[in-house]
Each structure stands twice: as structure tokens, then as C-alpha cells.
Amino acid sequence: MSSHSPVDPTGQQVMLSSGAVTARIAQVGAALRGLAVDGTDLVAGYPDGVKAPGASGIVLVPWPNRVRDGRWSHNGGEQQLPISEPKFRNASHGLLRFTPYDIEQTDAAATLRAKIFPQNGYPFALDTAVTYALTDDGIRVTHSIRNVGADPAPVAVGTHPYLAVGDADPAEITVAGTGTTWIETDERMLPIAEHPVGEATDLRAGRALGAGFMDRCYANLTRDADGLARTTLTAPDGRATTLWQGEGLDYTHIFITDGYPGRSHAIAIEPMSAPADAFNSGRGLRTIAAGDELTFEWGVVRAA
């Protein structure tokens, strides 16, 4: 009998290394599943042999988050996407979550590419690419999306990394973000209203979120002089991890779960170009003309 080694659900593993910085990228979903500086984890990893838990690290394209009932209209015609979140009857997290990307790799950088072909609910053709490049203190991520079809294509993008501050207990980590408004959702996690941040939702001065559940999108981000919006997780001993968002990534979704393997709970900081249900609201949605391309950048660094 021949030996059999089961395939890893996340596909080929891409290992990057430069100086004190290492990263691990999964082929499926082009997912960032590990990042460390001087041996200190900035991204929460997970065991081999399982699919990415809670969409860990995956690229969300051509939409992040949810589309209500999977339905939206384009040029007067109704589109119906597959329902990938049966619990809430939504289409969730785009079309490439379980797609194996093509990989081009050097020691310190990798570009992963995948195509979206016209299909039920999304009749457009896109070439997508994600480049992960190590820096002195972390990683820079560049998304490019080119419309290779004949018609203008509506697009949004996001990612779903779970951050860490080494071995610090997530329940004791302080989260500081720059959102000045937050988006209220209904029982299906779809937007119903937007509010200025208040005592219970304002993260600008930093807040210990504890071990409770959170699934909240922040908008109207305040950017630093360099044009970046930053969310920082700080441990009690002063160590810190920062996720920065470049131009066009105008929303930060924070998701806290107790269902992450090997951890009491985990904190996802999701940079997005549009909030939930953008295909219906139009908010944050970009339209790429035939032959044109969009790019977005974000990254994770050791802040202290």
C-alpha cells in the first residue's frame, strides 16, 4: 500500500525571512498566517492541517464582509451570489476565500495571483494580486486588482488578519483605533445606522476590550501626517503591534472571537475599502473601467 499524506487545507506554505523578520503565507486565500519580529509574534498563527479559522488572514475580494441575501442590482438587472453564510443568509467575504493562488517568491517577498471569472452574481473578470514584502519591522501588503473584462466592474477589498503581541493575553491587550464613527448592524450583521463614537465605542485613547465578543466596523478614520490610519494593540508590558492602512482603505473592522484554536480568544483587525453590504449601499465601492487597475496598501509592524 502506498503512503498517503493528506493535503493541507490552506495549500502550499510560503515562508519569508529577512533579518529578524519572518512571515508565513498560505496559498489558499493568499492568507497571512504568521508574522514575527525577533521571535515575537505579531500575527496569531494556527495549527497545520486545518482550514483558516475564522477566515484568518484571507483576502476578501471583490467584496469584504457581507452582501444581504447575496442579492444586488447592476445596470437594472438583479444579481444573485451564492449564500456562503447560511446562518445569516448572506454572501460573505468575496469569491476567493478557498481559491489557491499562483505564487511568485523571493526570500523576502512573495506575490500571489488569482483570477475571478464571470459567474453567477458577479459577471466580471478580474486579475488580482497580493504582494507581501518584509520590512525592517514587519510587513507591507499591496493589493492590485485589474479589470480584464469588457465592462466596468464594481470592486471592494479587505483582509482578515488576527493580530498578536507576542504571548500577551488578548484579554489584557489595549486596542487603540482612529475611527470617529461606528456602524450599527442588525441581527444578521448588516448595517442599519451609523453613530459618532461614544463612551462605550471610542477607541481613540485606547481601551482594554477584555474577553468579550465584538464584531464592529469603524469609519471616518483619522489619519496621521503620513496619510496612514493606525490601529495599535498594546500589551501590559508595553510591547505593541500596529496595523496601518493606506489611502482608500477607509474602514477598520474589529472582530473578537473565542473560537480561535490555541487561544482563549483572538482579535482580528480588518482593513477594508468598503463596509458590509457595499454592493447594495454603494458606500466605498469602486468601479474599475475595462483595462484599469486599483491598488491598496496596508501593513503590520512591531510598534514597541
**Each residue's pLDDT tens digit, 26-42:** 999 999 999 999 999 99
The residue length of the chain stands at 304
Q: Place 237 in a pLDDT band, splitting at 50, 70 and 90.
A: very high
The share of the chain scoring above pLDDT 70, in percent, equals 99
Q: What is the helix (H) or strand (E) element at residue 280, kind and residue range?
A: helix 278-281
Cβ(45)–Cβ(32) below 8 Å: no
Model confidence at 54: pLDDT above 90: yes
Q: Taking all residues of the chain, what is their mean pLDDT, rounded to a whole number?
A: 97
* pLDDT (0 to 100) of residue 213: 84
pLDDT digits (tens, 9 = 90+) for 226-235: 999 999 999 9
Q: Is the pLDDT of residue 210 over 80?
A: no
**Region class of 236: left (phi > 0), else alpha (psi between -120 and 50), else beta:** alpha
Residue 138, pLDDT score: 99
Domains and CATH numbers, the chain: 13-302 (2.70.98.10)
- Alpha helices for 182-275 (secondary structure H): none
Rounded mean pLDDT, 168-179:
95
The band of 163, judged by pLDDT with boundaries at 50, 70 and 90, is very high
Predicted pLDDT of residue 212: 75
| CB within 8 Å of 218: residues ≥ 6 apart | 177, 178, 179, 181, 182, 183, 197, 203, 251, 252, 253, 254
* Cell numbers for 142: 499591496
Contact 110, 267 (CB under 8 A): no
**Closest to 174 measured CA to CA, from 85, 87, 253, 237:** 237
Q: pLDDT class for 246, splitting at 50, 70, 90?
A: very high
Q: In angstroms, how far is CA 144 from the centroid of its own chain? A: 14
Angle at 153 between CA 149 and CA 155, to 5 degrees: 130
Three-state secondary-structure class, residue 222: coil
d(CA 219, CA 93): 19
pLDDT confidence of 1, banded at 50, 70, 90?
low
DSSP string spanning 26-52? Answer: ETBTTEEEEEEETTEEEE----TTS--
> Could you report the per-residue pLDDT of 176-190, keeping only the tens digit for each?
999 999 999 999 999
